[in-house]
Amino acid sequence: MTNTQLATKPHYPILDGLRGVAAIIVVTFHLAEPFSTGNLDKFVNHGYLAVDFFFLLSGFVMGYAYDDRWHKMTVGEFFKRRIIRLQPMVVLGMTLGAIGFYFTDSTLWPLIHTVPLWKMLLVLIVGYTILPVPLSLDIRGWEEMHPLNSVGWSLFFEYVANILYAIGIRKFSKSVLGVLVAISAIALAQLAISNGDVSGGWTLNQPQMRIGFTRVMYPFFAGLLLSRIAKPAQIKNSFLWCGLLVAVVFYMPRIGGADDMWLNGIYDSVCIIILFPLIVYLGASGVIQSQREQKVCKFLGDLSYPLYLVHYPIVYFYVAWISNNKGMTLAQAWPYALAILIGATVLAYAALKWYDEPVRKWLREKLG
Q: What is the DSSP string of 50-111?
A: HHHHHHHHHHHHHHHHHTTTGGG--HHHHHHHHHHHHHHHHHHHHHHHHHHHTT---TT-GG
Residue 326 clears pLDDT 90, i.e. is over it: no
Asked, for residue 2, whether it belongs to a domain, the answer is no
Residue 62 is predicted with a pLDDT of 97
Mean pLDDT of 284-294: 94
Asked, for residue 7, whether it belongs to a domain, the answer is no
Asked, for residue 1, whether it belongs to a domain, the answer is no
Asked, for residue 4, whether it belongs to a domain, the answer is no
Determine whether 331 is exposed, middle or buried from the number of CB atoms within 10 Å of its CB (0-12, 13-18, 19+): exposed
In the chain, the number of structural domains is 1
Asked, for residue 6, whether it belongs to a domain, the answer is no
Mean pLDDT of 233-242: 94
Residue 12 clears pLDDT 60, i.e. is over it: yes
Asked, for residue 214, whether it belongs to a domain, the answer is yes
Q: What is the per-residue pLDDT across 173-191, written as a single tens digit (0 to 9) for each?
A: 999 999 999 999 999 999 9
How far is Cα 150 from Cα 48, in angstroms, rounded to an integer?
A: 13
Tell me the C-alpha to C-alpha distance, in Å, between residue 66 and each of 44, 315, 319, 367.
Answer: 35, 35, 40, 19
Domain span including residue 322: 13-367
Which DSSP letter does residue 139 get?
S
Mean pLDDT of 165-174: 98
Residue 129 identity: T
Q: What is the per-residue pLDDT across 55-109, written as a single tens digit (0 to 9) for each?
A: 999 999 999 999 999 999 999 999 999 999 999 999 999 999 999 999 988 888 8
Asked, for residue 23, whether it belongs to a domain, the answer is yes
Asked, for residue 342, whether it belongs to a domain, the answer is yes
Alpha-carbon dihedral of residues 199, 203, 206, 208, nearest 10 degrees?
Answer: 0
How far is Cα 192 from Cα 5, in angstroms, rounded to an integer?
A: 43
Mean pLDDT of 325-345: 94
